[in-house]
């Protein structure tokens, strides 16, 4: 049997090239591609996917480990089931009929397609101006903006953050829990059964549902890293990061998790997360402080408890200068593990 062809690292697609890779371990950038650029065998992208303005196709794509930007793309993703990061559908004219799970935020504004099998959005969702439907959506992990959406969400039960229903003509008959406040002005649906300001209760429901959605696909999203589960025993999982070949370990304890190339490394990193970390050296730093990238990594891990493998995965497709500022890292880590605690440390 022929071994699938794999491209290691990032790929900037060229115009007129028919690629035969089944997997790309890093990011795929199709901004310089054209209609004759094809990826007919591609099933997996380990990092982000940038299809904005592309007129080609990727008909067998099933999994994107990072973000997905479909804005202005004229192709479809008929077999796509999973996006580990955020998804931007604005202005896309294609379809994603099998998409079930988005790990982070989703922007549907102006998209003409539908996501009829979508069940889970891990973070915020923006439906403004979308003409499609999400009939099986049950969970939105953070805020939701339904203003101007013409569809309904009759299976939606929980929103982790605030919700804006102003001017929405659809319905959400099974919605019972909203983590924050809600604006119902002009909504034609009913809010009689909805509990507002549910806080952590809503967050927990969303988190548990997101885990279940990924587990149903044989996947796990931990510390912002989407991985395929090879085996699980107790609190230890053996995984392969989407788009990668090397196996890693994930360990869990007291609600904290850590990755490691070996079981011992994962357990050691977990102890860093749950232990007492001395942040004294960083109390004199400000958002304008610039230090070497190595020192910034140590600071980020100490302040947030981020694991070594998580930091390495994040840095894999970055190209930072020799010295970086706290302000830069705060901006770069939005939506990633530790961002909020790192930001809060310097905004006291």
Which two three-digit tokens encode residue 110? 């102006």
| pLDDT of amino acid 237 | 94
Q: Give the count of beta carbons closer than 10 Å to the beta carbon of residue 259.
A: 26
Q: With contact defined as beta carbons under 8 Å apart, do 122 and 141 qualify? A: yes
The structure tokens listed for 310 are 């998580």
Helices 263-274 and 308-315 sit at what angle, rounded to 10 degrees?
Answer: 100
- Measuring CA to CA, which residue among 48, 52, 54, 47 is closest to residue 39? 54
Position of tokens 């580990």? 84
pLDDT value at residue 2: 65
Q: What are phi and psi of 345, to 5 degrees?
A: -60, -35
pLDDT at 167: 84
Q: Are 252 and 229 in contact (CB under 8 A)?
A: no
β partners of residue 225 = 222
Which residue is it, tokens 């049997």? Answer: 1
**According to the model, what pLDDT value does residue 294 have?**
82
Instruction: Walk along the chain (348 residues) in steps of 10 and give the mean pLDDT of each run.
Output: 80 94 94 92 94 90 94 89 93 89 92 90 91 91 91 92 90 93 89 89 89 90 89 93 86 86 83 79 93 88 84 80 92 86 90
Q: Hey, what long-range contacts does 258-267 have (CB within 8 A, 24 or more apart)?
A: 258/223, 258/307, 258/309, 258/310, 259/222, 259/223, 259/225, 259/307, 259/308, 259/309, 259/310, 259/313, 260/307, 260/308, 260/309, 261/309, 263/236, 265/308, 265/309, 266/236, 266/307, 266/309
CA angle 304, 308, 310 (to 5 degrees): 80
Our separate counts of H helices and E strands in the chain read 6, 27
End-to-end CA distance of the chain: 59
Predicted pLDDT at 1: 52
């Amino acid at each position: 049997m022929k071994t699938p062809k794999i491209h290691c690292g990032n790929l900037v697609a060229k115009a007129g090239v028919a690629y035969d890779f089944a997997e790309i371990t890093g990011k795929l950038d199709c901004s310089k591609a054209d209609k004759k650029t094809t990826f007919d065998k591609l099933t997996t992208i380990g990092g982000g996917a940038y299809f904005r303005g592309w007129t080609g196709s990727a008909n067998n794509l099933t999994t994107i480990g990072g973000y997905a930007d479909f804005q202005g793309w004229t192709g479809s993703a008929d077999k796509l089931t999973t996006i580990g990061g955020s998804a931007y559908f604005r202005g896309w004219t294609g379809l994603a009929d099998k998409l079930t799970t988005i790990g982070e935020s989703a922007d549907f504004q102006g998209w003409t397609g539908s996501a009829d099998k979508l069940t889970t959005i891990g973070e915020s969702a923006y439906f403004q101006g979308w003409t499609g439907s999400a009939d099986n959506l049950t969970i939105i992990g953070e805020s939701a903006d339904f203003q101007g959406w013409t569809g309904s969400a009759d299976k939606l039960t929980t929103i982790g953050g605030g919700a804006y229903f102003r001017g929405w003509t659809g319905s959400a008959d099974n919605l019972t829990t909203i983590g924050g406040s809600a604006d119902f002005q002009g909504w034609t649906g009913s809010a009689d059964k909805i509990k507002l300001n549910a806080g952590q209760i809503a967050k927990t429901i969303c988190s548990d549902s997101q885990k279940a959605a990924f587990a149903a696909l044989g996947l796990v999203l931990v510390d912002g890293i989407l991985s395929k589960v090879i085996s699980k025993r107790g609190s230890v999982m053996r995984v392969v990061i989407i788009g990668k070949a090397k196996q890693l370990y994930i360990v869990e304890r007291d609600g904290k998790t850590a990755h490691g190339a070996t079981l011992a490394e994962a357990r050691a990193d977990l102890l860093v997360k749950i232990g007492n970390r001395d942040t004294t050296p960083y109390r004199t730093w400000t958002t304008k402080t610039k230090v070497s990238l190595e020192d910034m990594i140590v600071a980020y891990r100490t302040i947030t408890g981020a694991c070594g493998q998580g930091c390495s995965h994040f840095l894999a497709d970055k190209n930072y200068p020799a010295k970086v500022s706290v302000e830069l890292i705060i901006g770069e880590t939005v939506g990633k593990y530790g961002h909020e605690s790192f930001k809060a440390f310097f905004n006291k």
